[in-house]
Structure 1
Amino acid sequence: MDAKQRVASARTAHFSNAEGIRGLACLIVLSGHGIAMFFPAAGHSLLGVGRFGVWLFFVLSAFLLTNHLLLDRITGARLIDYAVGRVLRIMPLYLLAIVVYWWLGTTGIHTWRDVFRAATLSAGYAHLWTIPVEMKFYVLLGTLIAPIAWIRQRLGLGLAVALAIGIGLLAIPLFPPSLAYTRITSLGWYVPCFMAGVALSLAYPSLPRPRSWIAASVSAAILAGMVAITNSVRVLYGGDPSPYWPFDKFVWISVAWTVLVSLNVDRRGLISRFWQTAPLRLVGRWSYPIYLFHWLVLMKFAHGYPGSASALAIAVTITIVFAAVCHKLVERPTMKLRPRISRLLERMAIPQSLPQRQAQ
């Protein structure tokens, strides 16, 4: 990109900085939980920081998945492949994590009933509450993507984007953010976060690309703003003293994250160097197993070595190394099964005797 404003003309399958943004989200979760576990006094003033990273995950995930689905026609075969991909991406490692936590503790999964409730996505335990929410969104997106794509093609991009935004806005009075903690695994509270990512994906190819210094300045302001609204900083300027203040601000925070994603997800030049750093990209690549298992490692080390910064550093290192092993031994082999399973299910769902056009 040069310094002039440009508009993208085609949808792309790859976003060069997505992995780095995912890495940032993962590091926010790791740092928030790590400090809270090892240094409870400081952690009390950082309540909710880990969720900032979760909400960034929600926005980025919705953006990337919607973009992937919109790369081609929405057919039965594509939706089958999408469903298979989501199940294989999430469930094998998640089920492994449930068994590990049942065995070693730290999340409240103590009985076989807990195992069953967690495995069937009917209850959330500790940080694992996000998995049922994500899986429910995948179902929602699979349901919405065909009508949204039809509206975009037949009635115009503006109406499709308005529909996505409208769904997000409609969820706010139906699921008031202030009550989100009462049913933590319900998707309804977080529909605005996800639909912000969907709306961005729809509009992204037509959005102007601001100059690099503008993108960098706005991005820095957003990140600084995230720091400024943490409990530890708000007290310095007379903010709300409630430690739970950030918990119901996910709608506005997700809007800010959406702007950050739009400015950086495929940005080249100076600002891209940050997102392209190898450590950040590796954390992003291994972010899912890091997220699943970091709680166990951090809790065990924090219990044995409370208040130790070196123990925290060791725990984070062990978490990342273990996640890399999980990625290589579980994630990658599992995802290689996706084409075979998709083709098998497609043959079962779509009779091969039908003409191709009718099958689609």
Structure 2
Amino acid sequence: MTEQRGNLAGHFPAADGIRGLAVLVVLVAHALVMFIPATRPYLGGTGKIGVWLFFVLSAFLLTNKFLKNGLNIKSVSEYFFGRALRILPLFFIASVFYFYLGYYDAETLRNVLAFQQGFAHLWTIPVEFKFYFILPILLIAFQAIRNRFGVFSVVLLATLIATAFRYFYPASLLQENSIETRWYISSFIVGILLSYIIRNLNTPLRKYGFYIFALMFLLLLIIPSFCDLITGRVIVPNLATSYLSISIVWAIFIFLSVSDRGITSDILSSSLMRKIGNHSFSTYLAHWFVLTQLAEKHTNSIPMMLLSIVASLLLGAIIYFVFERNIETFRHRVQKAMTRPSK
């Protein structure tokens, strides 16, 4: 038990499982809307609940890595190289793939590759990739404040920054599937703050299953159709503009999940969920192709909808083993060489 705080400050066995949960949320939401058109008025935008989890988790893990390894020229250089190699090759392959299948024309392909335009689910990639350039700047400021005034000052400064972005870029003006990172800065800041909180709290590992499942039920209530069915009214009419509140719920979920030693930890740390999480980027990029192709021919077929979800996961695994794993092996090899002390 003496290693609990160290584990929470450095390694998170449930992280891959949480990533797997995020892609499953997106998959199921998109599959329901595409295969069962009658659900569209009730479930439209539900996949974004999974997207907000991706944003918070990404900011949390990347911040934790910086706080663990330090902020210097070598670590930042290694970080930028790693992020570029992690995202760009597969994104390029996916973008060209959708172009050759006729999902969009050459001009749209150029705009998508230049991060000037989104397409369907691909809009999230420019948002997150541009955040990668902002993160080190934020952390340099946060670390300077922390070293002089303490962690509470970081929390205060981050809250002020998030509030300022919400003021200058109000959610009411957010365009659907905007590729502009500035709209979602507050969600990423929630993930950054979560990393600072976990590293500075001596949180014991215990069973948090009840609270985690309560949070999951709260997220279900956020879905307009489910909320209307249970309560007779809609609490959150537009999921796309509720990214901050949903991000905060997800941050609490992540906090409890990485601190849990009960059934939730067992599920998220299971081999299946970790594999889904490891393949999540490939699955996310490819699932739109599988769903659109099958939904067009099998509308209102629940068996085919379930098959499409399984097929998306299988295609994601294939892409992972054919492309992503080799790219990741090369990336880790280069990053290891970059961090090796010079003689």
Between 1:325-334 and 1:196-205, the stretch displaced more is 325-334
TM-score (normalised: structure 1): 0.87
TM-score normalised to the size of structure 2? 0.91
Aligned to 2:307: 314
Aligned to 1:121: 115
* Alpha-carbon offset, residue 292 of structure 1: 0.7
Corresponding residue to 1:54 among 51, 55, 66: 51
1:21, CA displacement in angstroms?
0.9
C-alpha separation in 1, matches of 2:138 and 2:78: 16
CA contact (8 A) 1:15 1:266 kept: no
* Partner AA of 2:252 in structure 1: V
Distance in 1 between the 2:316 and 2:25 partners? 17
Unaligned runs of 5+ in 1: none
Q: Deviations over 1:256-278 (max 9, x none)?
A: 11111111124323431121233
Q: Does 1:302 align with 2:295?
A: yes
Secondary structure at the aligned position of 1:307 is classed as coil
Q: SS of the residue aligned with 2:10?
A: coil
Q: 2:76, 2:244 → 1: CA distance? A: 28
Contact 1:25 1:57 in 2 (8 A): yes
The CA distance in 2 between the partners of 1:56 and 1:133, in whole Å, is: 14
In structure 2, C-alpha distance between the alignment counterparts of 1:183 and 1:325, rounded to whole Å: 28
Residue in 2 that maps onto 1:163 = 157
User: What is the CA–CA distance in structure 1 between the aligned matches of 2:189 and 2:48, rounded to whole Å?
Assistant: 17
Cα pair 1:16 1:267 within 8 Å, conserved: no
1:8 counterpart letter in structure 2: R
Whether the aligned pair in 2 keeps the contact of 1:95 and 1:119 (CA below 8 Å) is yes
Q: CA deviation at 1:148?
A: 1.9
Return the alpha-carbon distance in structure 2 between the equivalents of residues 274 and 227 of structure 1: 19
Q: 8 Å contact 2:205–2:260 — kept in the other structure? A: no
What is the count of residue pairs matched by the alignment?
341
Q: Distance in 1 between matches of 2:225 and 2:110?
A: 38
Q: 82, 85, 101: which is aligned to 1:85?
A: 82
- Greater shift, 113-122 or 203-212, is seen at 203-212
Aligned to 2:299, the other structure's residue is in SS state: coil
Amino acid at match of 2:88: M
Query: 8 Å contact 1:216–1:271 — kept in the other structure?
Result: yes
- State the distance in 2 between where 1:80 and 1:131 align: 21
* Post-superposition CA distance 1:75-123 (Å, at most 9, x none): 11110110011111111111111011111244xxx22211111011111
After TM superposition, list the pairs within 5 Å mapping 1:258-297 onto structure 2.
258-297=251-290
Which protein is richer in helix relative to its size? 2
Q: 3-state DSSP class of the match of 1:184?
A: coil
Structure 1 residues 267 and 101, CA gap change in structure 2 (3 angstroms): same
Code of the aligned partner of 1:312: M
